[in-house]
Amino acid sequence: MIANLSFQNGIAIITLNRPEAYNALNAELIETLGQLFDEVDQSDAVALVLVGAGGKAFCAGADIKGLLGKSAVEQVAFSRLGQQVFAKLDALAIPSIAVLSGVAFGGGLELAMACTFRVATPAARLGLPEIKLGLIPAYGGTQRLSRLAGIPRALELVSTGRTLDAEESEKIGLVTAIRAADDPIAIGLDFAASLGVPFPASFRMASNAVLQGFDLPLQEALELEAHLFAEATLTSDATEGVSAFLEKRKPAFTG
């Protein structure tokens, strides 16, 4: 299988499985990821961990050979395919964690940026090197990077295509945390446990308030927040959370 889905203790694990190509993204892998994201969305998983097989790369980016010989119309379609599949990941109602072991370049970093969290190993290397090929990121990288690291930093990284180490990536907000371990899956599971998953149903509402509100004028964003807050109060998890607080116990969220 070009990508595998498994479950462990209620957590979905997707493994990019093209180690001979440093888990590079071709059309088949992108389409397979889209199907797996749908399966995760329909499952009872409380979180998703995304890793790359082989130990040398999370994902080295788009398969460059697949970019050759395409018309402009075909290139647009290929870009939109990646954007649409990554949007499924972005829209999951559960937290997603990309474990960046080895390299995460180009489309691989764009895939990671569509996750809720990015955890890197100390030796990880990140970057959007498309400019060095006379290209630009095509799977949402120009947009998600600016939202994570700010416009000036995004412009610098996209314009130079330079490589970042794990420490700098964490410093600018591109990476959530750095964890030293040999097994990427273990890193992802440990990080998920540290978050206290399962999160309450309000997790997606909180995420929507942050992400959607970012692009709105402040007053409209505050209105969005108010409506999402009201929606959150109607969930059974909110009832459980308030009751647990008053009863001085740990809440048992069901999502």
Choose the catalytic residue: 28, 31, 39, 110: 110
Residue 110 among the catalytic residues: yes
Among candidates 205, 177, 209, which has minimal Cα distance to 192? Answer: 177
Q: What's the distance, CA 42 to chain centroid?
A: 18
User: Of 20, 74, 130, 223, which one is the catalytic site residue?
Assistant: 130
How many Å from the N-terminal Cα to the C-terminal Cα in the chain?
31
> Could you tell me if 115 and 98 are in contact, meaning their C-beta atoms sit under 8 angstroms apart?
yes
Length of the chain: 255
Burial class (CB in 10 A: 0-12, 13-18, 19+), 219: exposed
Q: How far is Cα of residue 68 from the mean position of the Cα atoms in its chain?
A: 27
Which residues participate in catalysis according to the annotation? 110, 130
